[in-house]
Each structure stands twice: as C-alpha cells, then as structure tokens.
Structure 1
Amino acid sequence: MIDALIAAPLMLPAFAGTATLLFRRRRRWIGAALSVGSTAGLVLLAIVLMGQAQGQGPTAYALGDWPAPFGIVLVLDRLAAMLLLLTAVLGLAVAAHATLTGLDRKGWHFHPLFQFQLLGINGAFLTGDLFNLFVFFEVLLIASYGLMLHGQGAQRLTAGVQYVIVNLIGSTLFLIALGLLYGVTGTLNMADMAVRVASLPPGDVGLLRAGGLLLVTVFALKAALAPLHLWLPRTYGSTAPAVAALFAIMTKVGAYAIIRTVPLIFGDWVGQVLLPAALVAILLGFAGLLAARGLRDMAAFGLIGSTATLLVAIAQFDQSAMSAALYYLPHTTLSAALLFLTVDLVIRWRPAEGDSIVPTSAFAGQGRLALLFLAAAVALAGLPPLSGFIGKLLILQASLASSSAIVIWALVLVTSLLAVVGLARAGTTVFWKQGQCPPTSKNRTAFRAIEAMPAFFLLAMLGLLTVAAGPATAYADATSRQIFDMSAYVRAVLGPDAPGAVR
C-alpha cells in the first residue's frame, strides 16, 4: 500500500486540474484555492516519498499490476524523490504568485494548465519506460503551450509558434530514436534495455549508439544546450515571467533524462559530445546576460548559463562530479525562478518602464524590491553566502580529475565574472539611477508586500539549502552512488532474480 503512493504525484494534479475546470468562470477563487492547496499537498507528499526513498533502495510500482517490462512501471529512488520535492516547492511559489498578482485571471485556464504541467513533469521523473517518458514529455509540453500564451499579445504569439515548432521537431526526433532503440533491443523499459544492451552483438552497437545519440540530442534540446539553445531566450523572454519561473524546471527535465538514461543504458561516451556543448552554452548564456537590454531576457540567458554549468558536471559521468551536480541542481532552478518572479514584480511595481534596463523613477516598495533583486543576483551568479557558491566550488573541485579541467575552470570563473558584471549593471541602473518619468503616486505598499511573499519564500528555500549544505551534500553523495548502481535499479524493476546491468 505504501508503494502505491508513488502514483500519487500523478493523480493529485490530475484530479486538481480537472476540479479547477469546474470553477474557471464562476467562483474562480475556489479553483485558485484548489490549485494552491493541491500544490501544497504535493510538497507534503514529496517529503513523505523522499523519506521512503532514503529508507530503502529504488522502488517500482507496476500500474494495473502488470509486471515489467510488459506493463507501465513507475520507479521511485533518491533522484526522483528529490526532483519531485523541487518541482512541488517551485510549483507552490508560482501558483501563489500567480494568484496574488492576478496573473491567473488573465485567462480562463491558467490553473488547469498549471496542474497538468505538474502532472507531466512528475510523470517524467517517475516513469521507468522510455515511451512513457515521451508521453509525459508531450503532456508537459502541451500544457506549456497554453501557459506560454497565457495573457495573449502579438509578441507572445509569435514566440509561441516558434516554441511549438521547435518542440514538434524534438518530439519527432524522440520517436525516431525510440524506433531505433526498440528495433535494436526489443524493449523500451529502461531496466530491461540496460540488461539487453550488455549482451548486444557487436554489429548492433552502432545502431544503439545512433539511437542513443539522437535521444540525448532531444534531451539536450530540452536542457537548452548549445547549439540547441536558441529557442529559450525568445520563449522565456516573451511569456509571463511567473510562467517562465515555472519553466525553469523544464530544462532540468532534460538534464534528469540524461542522468537517468546515459549511465544506465548508453555509457559515458556520451560525455564526449555533451561536455563541449555545455561549455559553449555557459559562455553564450552569460555573455547574453551581459548584453541583455531587458530584465526578462537577462533572466532567460542566466538560466541557460546556470543550466549549462550543471550539465558540465553531469557530462563528466563521474560519481563525485554527479554529486556536485545534484547539489547545484536545486540551486540553479530556484535561483532562476527567484529572478523571474523578481522581474515580474519590477514590471508590476514600475509600470512606466516595464522590464527595460533603464533608470527608474522612485516607486513604492523600491527598497524591498532592490534587496530581493540583489539576493537573486547573488544566487544566480554563484556568489557567497548562498548555495550557488558552494555548488560551483563542488563542481570545480570535482572537475580537477577531468582532462578538460583547465577549460572548465577558466570558463566557469570567467562567466561568473560576466554574470556579476551584467547583474550589477542591471541592478544599479534600475534601482540606483533616477529616471525622467514622474514618481508613482499610487501607493499599494501593503498589497505589494503580499505579492512579494512567494519570491521571499524561494529566497528562504535557497537559504535553507545553504544552511543545510552538510545534509544536502550527504544526500547528493548517496544519490550519486545510487545512480551508478545500475544493478540495484534493474533488480528493483525486473525483480530480485534479474541479471545486473553490466556494460
């Protein structure tokens, strides 16, 4: 019965999303309350599942009691539990922000789409099957299409069409990769594929690598690695900043898929392709942040750079580097989301200038917002005392064993400086320099203080990750060991008598 809780992160947003549809026109506050309450419930549920994952090894739950590899299997381990909790915490902050600021009232279907987005993300983290990973990718993408266009606008519509086209291409490549892999191995269950790959005849290894490389390309597209990153700045810079804050977790879905499939199925040769792409993406991301003229574009490029930093550690496919990546992963997600929510408050509280990086006339709540922006900038740039500094130190330390250590150190340090300069320039321009527009006379300080609560909640989560760096790194170490223990994953899915995955 406890194992059945593994399906709850899928069922809860599915029921909540359906329920919010009933209140989309009348008594919309009930639908909003259901959405926020459901997301808060996901936080509690993820904490319970994380405790379960810590207490035992990987646990599989067969839907409909059909055994693997023939049925649909959900797999809970330390990595999945950590990402479920991260998604729930981020979702709670975004749902509360959208409700408090009135973003959810700019269209009829915000909360249903929001809940189905969470359903797709949670499903991607839990599935043990590559085809169902594709299905959950499509669920979260379809929901993201609606959220991306929420609030309307010509610029948003143009960016939305491009976003849809890019993801349709990615979905097509995903299906082609699945066809190749199924043709070679005869299965799409990840544990079963890991076993069969170990005994493939030499003549099929080339096809396996071709399918694996195509699949990893799709995941790299989702993670916005160079040269597949060009869709992200336009998409995230055009949508509502609060929606972009939720989308910060979507690049981590691509990173998660790489972590899950490469050590288990394909092998660390993939790192030879991923590492150069991640290094180029770091440079392009933080250079774009420095050159940005708008706060939303700046946050979008910052997300590219910080996600690429995460992928540099992942692409080494080493246990210590993976541990550093797992500590840095929640930081980069929360810090990017914090910056997007802060940008949304800037747009709302100084409506004359929007998100342009230009001098600003005095407005109510300027000091509070300047403090929040400073904290978000420190977090995204990886400066002390927040957890980004610890995460980057761990990544640099783990990279000493890499043959590309000099390049990694040089790019991470130089791009961190670019991030500091770009964020400092934006902060001093917006909050210190005086603009020509008359000061805002309408005072809504109390209401604005409430609007800032979700952003301060994310800042508190970053503070907690910093203060609890010891337990967090210990959890990351144990999770990294579990990721590279392929035999335990195979036995959890296929049964205790299943052969180990030996490549």
Structure 2
Amino acid sequence: MSHWIVAPIILPAFTAAFLVMALRHDLARQRIVSFGATALLLAVAVGLFALAGDGAVRPYLLGNWPAPFGIVLVLDRLSALMLLLTAFLALAVLVYACEGWDAKGRHFHPLFQFQLMGLCGAFLTGDAFNLFVFFEVMLIASYGLMLHGGGAPRLKAGFQYVAINLVGSTLFLFAVGLIYATTGTLNMADIALKAPQVAAGDVALLRTGALLLLLVFALKAALVPLHWWLPTTYAAAPAPVAALFAIMTKVGAYSIIRIHAMVFGPEAGELANAAEPWIVPAALLTLAVGAIGVVATRRLLDLVAFAAVWSMGSLLVAVGLFGPRGLTAALYYTVHSTIATAGLFLLADMVMRHRGQLADRLSSAAPVAQAALVSGLFFLAAIAMAGLPPLSGFIGKLLILDAAREAPSAAWVWSLVLATSLVVIIGFSRAGSVLFWKTEAAGAGPLPAGSAAPGPAAAGAPRWPASAVLAVAVLIGGTGALTLFAGPATATFEATAAQVLDVRGYVAAVLGPEAAAQLGGAPGVALGR
C-alpha cells in the first residue's frame, strides 16, 4: 500500500493550515509556500500517474480498516489522470494569480490550497459519502475564492452560487441516504456488488437515489437545464478563480463516469445504465444553449463562460455513450477543454485590464498592451476551444463524432456538434475582430464594480509581467502538446476507459477476488458501445 496515494489530500490541507496560522499577514512568504506546495503536488501527481500506468487498481485503507467498513481511497488510471490535470492547472493559475490578484483580498492562498484538497479528495475517494464530504470542502473554499476582491456583482453572483450549491448538497445527502438504506453501504465497490442483488421492492428506491446523484452531478457539470448558474458565476469571479473553476465542472463529469458508468453500469442488474436515457439529450441541449450564448453575448467574460457550457455539452455527449470509445473521447476532451477554458479566462483578464472603462465589452477601443502577443494567444486559444484544426479541440471533436457513429442518436449528435461548432467559430471570430482589429480611441462607459483595476487603454500601457504571459502560454501550449502527442495520449485514455468499465477488476482490488466472483459476466469485459 503506497502512502503517496494520500499525499495529494494531506499536502494542500497542511499547507493551508500553515498559511493561516503562521503566515497570515505575510503575502510574500505565502506566495513562496503556496507555489512550493503546488509544485510539489504536481510532482506527486506525476509520480502517481506513472504508478497507475501499470493498470493496477490500488486501494488505500485509512487506519488500515478493511473495505467496506473503513474509509478507502482508490488510485487507478482515471483518478491519477484527474490529479495530474488538477495539479498542472493549479500551478499555472497560481503563477498568474501571484502577479497581483492574490493581493486584492484576504486568505487567497489558504483558500486555494483547501480548494485543491477538495478536488484531489473527490478524485481519489472510493466512497460515496466521502465524495459528498470532499464536494463540500471544495465548495466551501470556492465560496471564498468566488468573493475574493469584493464588489456588488461578485457578491450577487456569489449568493446565487452558494444557494444553488446548497440545494445540490441537500439532494446529495438524500441520494446517499437512499442508497445506504437499500444497499447498507456507501463504498463504491460494495454498491456495485450489491446493486444487482437488491430486493425487488427496493429497486425503485435505489433507482431514485441513483438518479438524484445524477441530478447533483449534472448540476456540478452545468448540464442544461441546470447550467444557468455557470455563466453568471464564472464571469463575475476573479480571473484566476474562474480559470481554476474550469476543473470544477469536470468533477461533475468525473462523478458521472465513476458512479454511473461503473457503479450503476452494465452489471448493475435492474439498475443497469440508469442514467443513459437522460445524459445525451441534455448534453445536446447544452451544446445548443452554450453556442447561442457564445454568439449572443456582448462581453468577453460571458463569451468564455458560455463557451465553457458548450464544451461541457460536447464532453457529456461522449460520456453519455457509456462505451469504451465514448469514454476515450470524453477523457481526451476533458483534458483539452479544461486547459483551453482556463487559458481563455486568463487571456480575458489580460485584455480587460488594459481597455480602460470598456473592460471586457465587445466594443472598439485602443490597442491593448503587447497587442500582437495577446491577440496571437487569443487566436490560438479560440482555435483550440472552437475545435478547428490543427489543435486538440479538432481531434477531440473527431473522437466524439467517431464514438457516436453507431449510437441511436448519431444523427442528432453529428448535426448539433458540427452546427454549434460553426456558431462558436462565428462568436470567437466576432470577438477577436472587435478586440484586436477594429481598434480606435478608448471608449467610455462605467467599469463593472468588482472588476480588476484597469490599466491605461493606450499604446503606452505597461507590459505584462513575463510570468503572467508564461502561465497563459503554458496552458494554451498544452493544447498543442495534446495534439502532437495525440497518439500516445489516446492510447492512455483508451486504457483508462477500459479500466473504468472493468467493474470486476475494481471490486476485486477493493474488496477481494471472492467478492468480485459474485458479479455476473466474464472478468475484464467492458460492456457498452
């Protein structure tokens, strides 16, 4: 049992406590400690990703209590991938935030570390109740980060964000209560084992619990009609926080994969594939709503927020296919969309802070500082996000379309993915031309309350620090790397999808081979399209 498995949870937790108790009033040292801890987290995540590469599922039994009676963490290819993506994103965002955003309010770095603790815990836990616990850790930290810097619009959006997530948390508790009442367990492997054996009279209750979980995860993933909170929240949040939140919606998608593709997957008896009829239709609506938002909005931050909604529609279309090819496409698109969305939020901040009172309005203004560099980065990020060749968004879309070829909804998937991609291209083209081509003297207009203080909207505007530009370039460069190494990456994602769908292998690793023998079907068979 490798003790490194628990490190991604312990490291940010101890770092956050140390920052609060010892360095509360010393921002310079907070930056050093927070950067060092996040860099170490990335190193640990790389090590765990390499460790998981052998295909073994590794349970970590806290207190050495045997599963399903004790708390269990599980490292497999999927959790290791999400840990690596989280740590990579966090380090880039932190570098950007240290250029001044972290000084606009109190306790940015402790909250940032607690956020990482919640994210890593959600990806590692093997227990449905502890998934709820880490959701709450993650959400409590995100409340503070969302309000960082203050301002009336941010406070209003923060209230909506808190309210909708409190409703989600309540539904989560109802769901785990129903699952525990019918199965007597909340360990994911044990639920997968007992779900097919539930008495006929309890099937409806267990199905209700499973669908309530789907509702909660759909809320986190901003699936239509539960998406409405995301554009308001992300557009109002501080730019580095919105960039970090790009991984938050992926927690919802991850939970759908973990619970509904594995626990309530094809081997769950009468509960098999309970979520399948709901996800693809909702994801297609999400595609449409997100694309309409991109082309209709008149602010850059809103455009990026609706692009995030649209990308979640693409991702969840692939997830909803619940087969090896669909999950492979979903994992590739998860990595792509996370880093592309984060890069766009940071770029939007760079643009708006140098446009005077116009801020992020899509109106003509004086050229921003380092216009050639910023416009080039925006061009690459827009290409990646919209799914144009040669960057990773194009490959991700091809994988999704290929996975959907034999699905009953293939015609709808192909039509909406391609049509909405065109709409999103138009939206980004319009924004780019207004921001970087049709430049003129700075316009007038009130600066939105709570926004970052803008720099001069003139040719003599101060140049951006190299570290901030580097953070954005690394994120956008990640889409290029994902393109260059698409072959090895896709092979890794295929192996990850196969492991997720191998329910017997997961149960055998956590509960033992004897428990896995109680499941029907042949070992290692990944069912589904």
TM-score (norm 2): 0.92
Aligned-partner Cα distance in 1 for 2:109–2:229: 25
Alignment match of 2:195 (pick from 194, 197, 215): 197
Q: Tell me which residue corresponds to 2:262.
A: 264
Q: Partner amino acid for 1:325? A: A
Aligned counterparts of 2:52 and 2:395: Cα–Cα separation in 1: 25
Structure-1 residue corresponding to 2:51? 52
Partner of 1:373: 378
Q: What residue number does 2:348 align with?
A: 343
CA distance in 2, matches of 1:25, 1:180: 42
Match of 1:329 among 312, 325, 334: 334
Instruction: State whether residues 241 and 296 of structure 1, in contact with CA within 8 Å, keep that contact through their aligned partners in structure 2.
Output: no
* Cα 1:8–1:82 shift into 2, 3 Å: same
Asked if the contact 1:263/1:483 (under 8 Å) is kept, the reply is: yes
**2:272 is equivalent to residue 274 of structure 1:** no
Say whether the 8 Å CA contact 1:76–1:126 is kept in structure 2: yes
Q: Does 1:230 align with 2:247?
A: no
Letter in 2 for 1:164: V
More helix by share: 1
Q: Which of the residues 430, 434, 451 maps onto 1:429?
A: 434
Question: d(CA) in 1 for partners of 2:341 and 2:128?
Answer: 28
Partner of 2:113: 115
Q: Is the 8 A contact 1:296 1:343 kept in 2?
A: yes
Alignment partners' CA distance in 1, 2:369 and 2:316: 40
Q: Matches of 1:154 and 1:219 in 2, distance apart? A: 29
* Residues 355-366 of structure 1 aligned to structure 2 (within 5 Å): 355-366=360-371
Moved more, 134-143 or 347-356: 347-356
Match of 1:154 in 2: 152
The separation in 1 between residues aligned to 2:342 and 2:436, in whole angstroms, is 20
* 3-state DSSP of counterpart to 2:226: coil
Number of the residue aligned with 1:69: 68
> How big is the shift at 1:351?
3.1
What is the rounded CA distance, in whole Å, between the counterparts of 2:3 and 2:467 in structure 1?
Answer: 38
2:205 corresponds in structure 1 to 207
The amino acid of 1:38's aligned partner reads A
In structure 1, what is the equivalent of residue 103 of structure 2? 105
Are positions 1:216 and 2:214 aligned together?
yes
Counterpart in 1 of 2:391? Answer: 386
The aligned residue for residue 413 of structure 1 is 418
CA RMSD of aligned residues (A): 1.3
> How far apart are 1:24 and its partner, in Å?
4.8
The alpha-carbon deviation at position 22 of structure 1 amounts to 4.1
Q: C-alpha distance in 2, partners of 1:301/1:40?
A: 31
Once the 2 structures are TM-superposed, how far is the Cα of residue 450 of structure 1 from its aligned partner?
A: 3.3
Match of 1:489 among 502, 506, 510: 506
Q: Aligned equivalents of 1:165 and 1:152: distance in 2?
A: 18
**In 1: Cα distance, 2:329 partner to 2:290 partner:** 21
140, 154, 179: which one aligns with 1:181? 179
What amino acid does structure 2 have at the position aligned with 1:96?
A: V
Equivalent residue, structure 2, for 1:294: 299
1:334 counterpart letter in structure 2: I
The answer as to 2:327 corresponding to 1:313 is no
The equivalences for 1:13-92 within 5 A come to 13-22=12-21, 24-92=23-91
Secondary structure of 2:353's counterpart equals helix
Partner of 1:456: 473
- Does structure 1 residue 480 correspond to structure 2 residue 497? yes
Deviates more, 1:314-323 or 1:349-358: 349-358
Partners of 1:80 and 1:125 within 8 A in 2: yes
The whole-number CA distance in structure 2 between the counterparts of 1:20 and 1:247 is 22
For 1:177 and 1:21, the matched residues in 2 are separated by 35
Letter in 1 for 2:146: M
Partner residue, 2:446: none
Helix, strand or coil for the counterpart of 1:352?
A: helix
- Quote the offset at 1:19 in angstroms: 2.0
Contact 2:96 / 2:467 at 8 angstroms: preserved in 1?
no
* 2:450 matched residue in structure 1: none
Counterpart AA for 1:424: S
Answer whether contact 2:351 2:368 (CA < 8 A) is retained. Answer: no
d(CA) in 1 for partners of 2:468, 2:25: 23
Percent of aligned positions with the same letter in both sequences?
51
Give distance in 2, aligned partners of 1:373 and 1:397.
28
Partner of 1:304: 309
Q: 1:290 to 1:443 in 2, by over 3 A?
A: closer
In 1, distance between residues paired with 2:329 and 2:369?
A: 41
SS at match of 1:108: coil
- Kept after mapping to 2: 8 A contact 1:282/1:309: yes
- Could you tell me how far 1:363 is from its partner in structure 2? 3.4
In structure 2, distance between residues paired with 1:352 and 1:449: 25
Indicate the SS of the match to 1:198: helix
How far has the Cα of 1:23 moved from its partner? 5.6
Letter in 1 for 2:281: P
Are residue 469 (structure 1) and residue 486 (structure 2) matched? yes
Structure 1 length-normalised TM: 0.97
Q: What is aligned with 1:168?
A: 166
SS of match in other structure, 2:60: strand
Alignment partner of 1:363: what SS? coil
Provide the rounded CA distance (Å) in 1 between the counterparts of 2:359 and 2:368.
13
Q: Which residue of 1 aligns with 2:408?
A: 403
Alignment-derived partner of residue 285 in structure 1: 290
Instruction: Note the alpha carbon deviations across 1:156-191, whole angstroms, 9 max, x for none.
Output: 001111110000000000000111111110100010
Q: Is the 8 A contact 1:22 1:31 kept in 2?
A: no
Residues 246-271 of structure 1, C-alpha deviations (whole Å, 9 max, x = no match): 00100000000000011222232311
How many residue pairs end up in the alignment? 500
Secondary structure in structure 2 of the residue aligned to 1:227: coil
Shift of 1:429: 0.3
User: Which residue is 1:144 aligned to?
Assistant: 142
Structure 1 contact 377–423 (Cα < 8 Å) conserved: yes
Letter in structure 2 aligned against 1:148: M
Amino acid at match of 2:242: A
C-alpha offsets along residues 180-232 of structure 1, whole Å, 9 cap, x if unaligned? Answer: 11111010001011111121222221111111001110000000000000111
SS in 2 for 1:498: helix
Determine if contact 1:21/1:31 at 8 Å carries over to the other structure.
no
Contact kept in structure 2, 1:24 and 1:109, CA below 8 Å: no
| One-letter amino acid of the structure 2 residue matched with residue 126 of structure 1 | L
Task: Tell me how far 1:437 sits from its aligned partner.
Answer: 2.1
Q: Is the CA contact (8 Å cut-off) linking 1:20 and 1:32 kept in structure 2?
A: no
1:128 paired residue number: 126
Q: In the alignment, residue 356 of structure 1 is paired with which amino acid?
A: R
State the one-letter code of the partner of 2:213: L
